[in-house]
Amino acid sequence: MITRRRLLASSLLPFVYTGSVKASGPAAEAPWHNWSGHLTASPAGRVAPASTEELAGWLKVTTGKVRPVGSAHSFSPLVPTDGHLLVLDRMSGLVSSSADALEAVFHAGTRLSDTGLPLWQAGQAMFNLPDIDRQTIAGALATSTHGTGDGLKSLSGYVSGLELVTAAGEVLALDADHEFLPAAAVSMGALGIITKATFRNRAPFRVRTRTWVEETTAILDKFDAYCREWQHFEMMPLLHSDYALAIAHQETEADLQPPPEPDDDSLLALIGATPVALRGALINTLAQTVEPTEAVQRSYEALTNIRMTRFNEMEYSVPADVGGECLLEVMQAVADNAVDVVIPLEYRIIDADDTWLSMFSGGARVSISVHRLAGEDFNPLFNLVEPIFWKYGGRPHWGKWHSLGYSELKALYPKFDDFARLRQQFDPDGRLLNPHLAKLFGVEA
């Protein structure tokens, strides 16, 4: 049985990256790696403050480059620096919650995986969650991380307050009415270090999850209807085939029902070992044997997954009305060029928000994610499909690999230059910049 969790977490996919980050030694000698192992850095040191006051004090009495790091789950080089890494692991946990306002304040170093149970016990739940919950709150907000659902926003769209420490050590409290909150809610760590975040939440809820396999074009034809029927809906098209895995969640009062245990992973191993030219026929045949699955879980358990298979990823968001056309063109390009890709695509929908640099500012968009197993050269695949995303007005996910710089980005975001000026105001010495951010904001080295 091919299930979502098997597609995302199989340990038998070929060429899986098996390296790990070395245990930390002296700060100045310990290298840094991101989750996939593609990005590396040799920072001058690591700083792990236990409080906002400690962080602000350190920034006030030091100089030199600094970059915040969360769970290292970004595939774009937002973190690498030869300066100091700021690690917020010691600034974690629920700070406070309001049952009346349905709001909660978290330390920004909190992993998303550690928010669900405390919120549930406080009588709250987040409206939406991303597929992977290992990111820190600060990292997820900085990159406009999102889940899926028509009428549902990214995490940044539900932020009603932030505590931000500038590169000079000034502590700023940005409440819901502050003019700069829409800028700081998605900032790539370029305005300062987020230390606390306040979220607008809702009452706890359970969801019924149903997965099934259906022809990709049929799902696209019914996508709007599926989004109306299911609170959170997405699909994972299986490349080199006619089919996709549909994943649908809907709020329910039903009793909890655990997801089915995955069967033997030999089918996925078989797909990976089959030559590309023969893979389509194999997947199409197997897809017709897949039975639907159902489960009922708490929202924070159902909406997220653990990914054991490491990969590198590109993701672009395009206007919702051209999403299907863009997806099919990407799939056709991969097929025409016989690119050996095992991990399926992801196709999700997110509503508009009012943040300055969210991919979803100004209108609802669908996101299309492309993956390449870690250890493989992702350039042939990413270079092939990226121009297709550009053709449809795509905006890159800030935490995923892309090649765009200042001139392209300012054309995609009406307030990009406003953000660039604010960045200069908040960090005039460029202490928070690294080469990647300098390229994004057109700052000369």
Q: Percentage of the chain surpassing pLDDT 70? A: 92
The residue out of 175, 203, 231 marking a domain boundary is: 203
Whether 254 and 389 map to the same domain: the answer is yes
Q: Which domain holds residue 119?
A: 94-203
The residue out of 164, 188, 203 marking a domain boundary is: 203
Tokens of 162: 């932030």
pLDDT score of 307:
76
Q: How many domains does the chain have?
A: 3
Whether 115 and 50 map to the same domain: the answer is no
Mean pLDDT, all residues of the chain:
92
pLDDT score of 305:
84
User: Within a domain: residue 347?
Assistant: yes
pLDDT score of 445:
60
CATH number of the domain encompassing residue 250: 3.40.462.10
Whether 251 and 369 map to the same domain: the answer is yes
pLDDT score of 266:
65
Whether 355 and 226 map to the same domain: the answer is yes
pTM reported for the whole predicted model: 0.93
Q: What is the pLDDT of residues 67-119, one digit of tens each?
A: 999 999 999 999 999 999 999 999 999 999 999 999 999 999 999 999 999 99
Region of residue 442 (left: phi > 0; alpha: psi -120 to 50; beta: else): left
User: Within a domain: residue 102?
Assistant: yes
Whether 336 and 217 map to the same domain: the answer is yes
CATH number of the domain encompassing residue 83: 3.30.43
Whether 269 and 391 map to the same domain: the answer is yes
Whether 276 and 359 map to the same domain: the answer is yes
pLDDT score of 444:
82
Whether 119 and 267 map to the same domain: the answer is no
User: Within a domain: residue 442?
Assistant: no
The residue out of 167, 187, 203 marking a domain boundary is: 203
Whether 176 and 284 map to the same domain: the answer is no
> Any residues with CB less than 8 A from the CB of 390 and at least 6 apart, and which?
408
In the predicted model, residues of the chain with pLDDT beneath 50 are 1, 5, 8-29
Q: Which is it for strands 66-69 and 84-87: parallel, antiparallel or unpaired? A: parallel
